[in-house]
Structure 1
Amino acid sequence: MVHSYSAAQQKKLIVFDTTLRDGEQSPGCSLNLEEKVVVAKQLSLLGVDVLEAGFPICSIGDFEAVKRIATEVAPSMEGREKIGKPMIIAGLARAVPADIKRCAEALEPAPLKRIHIVLATSDIHLQHKLKISRDECVKRAVESIQLAKTLCDDIEFSPEDAGRSDEEFLSFILGKCIEAGATTINVPDTVGYNTPEEYGRRVKYLIDRTPGSDKVVWSTHCHNDLGLATANTLSGIQNGARQVEVTINGIGERAGNTALEETVMAIHTHPTYYPVFHTINTKQLCSSSRLVSSLTGSAVQSNKAIVGHNAFLHESGIHQDGILKNKSTYEIITPETVGANEVSLILGKHSGRNAFRQRCKELGFASISDQALQKAFTDFKALCDRKKSVNDSDILAILAC
């Protein structure tokens, strides 16, 4: 059955960006204080709803970065007129009193703030990492939320490794967390273990079976260890999640997190397929991607969806011919929609005569004869067999012969 939702049926999707927290945990992606502020300002312009600015207790630098963002970036309404409010600034805390108090202190200047508490719930984590019982896990979760609630109204709880946790226990502990005052419940597939069907079913199970589930926002947080993070996130949305936790370029631990740009553009490209709508300024996606890549030193693979260098490039002659006649033949997203305004036709050994003729026109040879064009095209193909890439200077040299 094909889904189709009217605008009246769709709910606002809350985009929770964790580039500055989970994303920065990607090896070699550490950012200094000034760089974090720059990224935070860009994410505000992008239209992010919730910005997880860091993990305040982990270092003095992280505390200062969260506090600075809460002070300088949090009140900004630049570019957010349609959204109608500034970003919510979130900080991460373990289910430990010192973490929670430190987090609240860092977030204090922000007009809108959230304490995000994380505690593992899978048996493998309880037995081997935390070395506590399920009962102790519930006790810690409830007490940490109750403490956080005295410091902040907006509390999110994440049962770490929810993707491998026992579903009945998960439903029980999350019900207790809601009763204690949590306002957002996140379902992390911490190790990227789930398939889309598994993850979506788990989200639905929890929403259906957890006491008080209708009182909170349900959220996704998926990792990309099996290359399924975006698919899992979208499955979560279809099954009731109304917040997604994502990063720019999908950076993060190990194979990374769900990519913000992929999730948003999947919804953007299928405007009636999902039960949600987004308020991200998609024209800021490529500039946000380039900024994060530049500051973290984490290169974006050339064939990365949406923001990769090759995302809107066409070399095949068949594709180029179609693009020249009507862009919709091979482009489901226009480059301009995501702020990618580069040349879309790349000339190489797979290119056809029509694309070559078009480039000749762009280079000032609009009146070239058919005979001269054929000779130049033959020379161009021969050069392509000798070189990996042929640039405009090469083509001009061929045309000058």
Structure 2
Amino acid sequence: MNENKNTIERQPFFYDVTLRDGNQALPKPWNNAQKKDVYLQLLKLGVQGAEVGFPASSEMDFESCKELAQLTAKMAEEGDEVAKRIVVSGLARCVESDIQRCWEAVQYAPHPRIHTFLATSPLSMEHVLHMTPEQVKEKAVHCVKFAKSLVGDKGDVEFSAEHFGDCLENMDFVIDVLKAVVEAGATTINLPNTVERYRPFLYVNQIKQVYEALPKDVTISVHCHNDLGMATAATVESFFVGATQLEVALNGLGERCGNTNFYEVAVALHNSGVNTGLHMERIYETAILISQWSGISIYSRAPLIGAEAIVHRSGIHQDGASKTKDMKKGAYRPIDYSIIGRHQNDSLSFTSQSGRTAVYEIITKFGYKMSLAEAAQLQPILKACSEKEGELSAERVLDVFREHFVNVNGRLVFNNIEVIPDENRFIFHFKKDGESLVKSVTAEGPIEAALMLMREIGMPVELVKYRQLVVPEKDKMWAGRGLSRMLLKAGDVEVEGRGVSSDTLKANMRALFGGVNLLYKKV
């Protein structure tokens, strides 16, 4: 193995077990048409191998495996590159009739495989199989030879030492059995952690022992269940000690707590410099489809694919996410999510734990311009709302922004402006400190008139910058209306007044009056 910290030349062999291990664990297993949909999605992902079922388990499963093998052959003839190389496998107990039935189903595929298994752990041999170790070895060798006699040169044989993870105390025996089945014709040796009981290091060390003991032309495979939540870790680390075939399942489907999650392994290896050979941009799409087809919802905090996987709520995390949002490697995310076809990297939500960065990101995503200083002013207001209401939606944050930064009322309340064009005169109808006033000002234009009015009523301001825009489309309530932005200054303090109206003149006045209210707040 030529490996370095940047790239790994050895490529993993992704062997998907969704159609067998995943399907058998569903409350309502898929019918043949549904299994075909799943299989076609696996081809889109570019998997190198697929265990399509357990042909001897039922007539329906036999027909499904046969149909998928024939479909693969047809697609390969038509030029589909994935179909040309994919290994189509069926599972069989170490029973001749099972093995025969398996071959009858998968033989049509360009690369068929018989996968047979027998437990080798002391617990299973004594209490489940009621067989001696010698009998187990003899049966394993006999069945592998029989399988090899069926596949000949057209296909290959995989042997699984079921409950391998429980074989810590009899590894010498297990290795002896594995050497014997390799001699009998098995070219792939699968080492399942059928029930996850211990820390991954112990299992990974077992994998290393087998890898070092068997001929290097034998493919070492791992198949981990997720009983303690460490199946991904065990699978990934096994690759780095010699395992090449990684048995995984879409959405982590499988018995009890599921099988190793396909997507997590693929991304972990990708991040570690390993070329997975997969169409990884199909991952997110696949996860959604499998959830729909299986009827099993995706856990909201599921790595990579869960709704919460991209959400940041604490102020520190939101700040880091914002500062690295345009980088491939984010401060608080494992990947650029576009790699898996998920086209959003970071979602900032507002809670009482959030800071100004969340405010800034949420408002600017609606298309508004906002300074971090303004975000800092709005943050405690939103925090108070969140303490009462819980998590605030983006729309709720926008509502609060509008209330405090757009068409702002305070000491002044703008009502209307009349224009007398022939006299260059402007008549303002407004309130100051609750008193209704009407003031007439002569000036070259309405903004100049409004600035003169402010001096007259004792609230002078300087216009630093002015822009006339349109409310962004993402603000569904006000989209398309005129938006005026005025940067105003009084003394050493600058604020931005924002005004919105379908009438541009009124938008200007609301921006100016609003900015003055921000500068001259009630004492």
- TM-score (norm: length of structure 2): 0.70
| Distance of 1:186 and 1:370 partners within structure 2 | 59
| Distance of 1:86 and 1:76 partners within structure 2 | 11
CA deviation string 1:88-143 (max 9, x = no partner): 11100001111111111111221111110011111211121111222221221112
Taking a change above 3 Å as real, the CA distance of residues 115 and 380 of structure 1, as seen in their structure-2 partners, is: same
Structure with higher strand content: 2
8 A contact 2:357–2:372 mirrored in 1: no
Q: How does 1:67-146 map to 2 (within 5 A)?
A: 67-73=66-72, 76=75, 85-146=84-145
CA deviation string 1:291-310 (max 9, x = no partner): 11111122222111122212
Q: Does 1:31 align with 2:33?
A: no
Query: Which residue does the alignment assign to 2:248?
Result: 246
Superposition deviation, residue 162 in structure 1:
1.2
Taking a change above 3 Å as real, the CA distance of residues 396 and 285 of structure 1, as seen in their structure-2 partners, is: same
Counterpart secondary structure, 2:4: coil
Counterpart secondary structure, 2:18: coil
Taking a change above 3 Å as real, the CA distance of residues 214 and 400 of structure 1, as seen in their structure-2 partners, is: closer
Superposition deviation, residue 87 in structure 1:
1.7
Amino acid at match of 1:286: Y
Amino acid at match of 2:187: T
Q: How does 1:1-400 map to 2 (within 5 A)?
A: 4=4, 10-28=9-27, 30-73=29-72, 76=75, 85-152=84-151, 153-165=155-167, 166-210=170-214, 213-271=215-273, 277-327=275-325, 328-342=330-344, 344-349=346-351, 350-366=353-369, 376-400=378-402
| Cα RMSD after superposing both structures | 2.4
Counterpart secondary structure, 1:92: strand
Q: Percent identity?
A: 35
8 A contact 1:348–1:390 mirrored in 2: yes
8 A contact 2:17–2:249 mirrored in 1: yes
Superposition deviation, residue 49 in structure 1:
0.6
Taking a change above 3 Å as real, the CA distance of residues 343 and 96 of structure 1, as seen in their structure-2 partners, is: same
CA deviation string 1:28-82 (max 9, x = no partner): 252221111111111111111100111111112211221222122465469975x
Taking a change above 3 Å as real, the CA distance of residues 61 and 304 of structure 1, as seen in their structure-2 partners, is: same
| Distance of 1:196 and 1:74 partners within structure 2 | 39
Q: Which moved more, 1:383-392 or 1:170-179?
A: 383-392
8 A contact 1:203–1:241 mirrored in 2: yes
Aligned length, in residue pairs: 390
| Distance of 1:200 and 1:6 partners within structure 2 | 22
8 A contact 2:73–2:84 mirrored in 1: no
Taking a change above 3 Å as real, the CA distance of residues 195 and 370 of structure 1, as seen in their structure-2 partners, is: closer
Superposition deviation, residue 362 in structure 1:
2.4
8 A contact 2:23–2:30 mirrored in 1: yes
| Distance of 1:38 and 1:71 partners within structure 2 | 15
| Distance of 1:361 and 1:5 partners within structure 2 | 39
Higher relative contact order (CA closer than 8 Å, sequence separation 6+): 1
8 A contact 2:55–2:61 mirrored in 1: yes
8 A contact 1:230–1:262 mirrored in 2: yes
Taking a change above 3 Å as real, the CA distance of residues 351 and 345 of structure 1, as seen in their structure-2 partners, is: farther
Superposition deviation, residue 196 in structure 1:
2.0
8 A contact 1:16–1:243 mirrored in 2: yes
8 A contact 1:40–1:73 mirrored in 2: no
- TM-score (norm: length of structure 1): 0.90
Taking a change above 3 Å as real, the CA distance of residues 370 and 41 of structure 1, as seen in their structure-2 partners, is: same
Q: Which moved more, 1:215-224 or 1:379-388?
A: 379-388
8 A contact 2:114–2:157 mirrored in 1: yes
| Distance of 2:300 and 2:202 partners within structure 1 | 30
Which runs of no fewer than 5 residues in structure 2 stay unpaired?
404-523
Counterpart secondary structure, 2:308: coil
Superposition deviation, residue 378 in structure 1:
3.9
Q: Which moved more, 1:46-55 or 1:144-153?
A: 144-153
8 A contact 2:6–2:272 mirrored in 1: no
8 A contact 2:363–2:370 mirrored in 1: no
8 A contact 1:194–1:232 mirrored in 2: no
Superposition deviation, residue 27 in structure 1:
4.8
Counterpart secondary structure, 1:22: helix
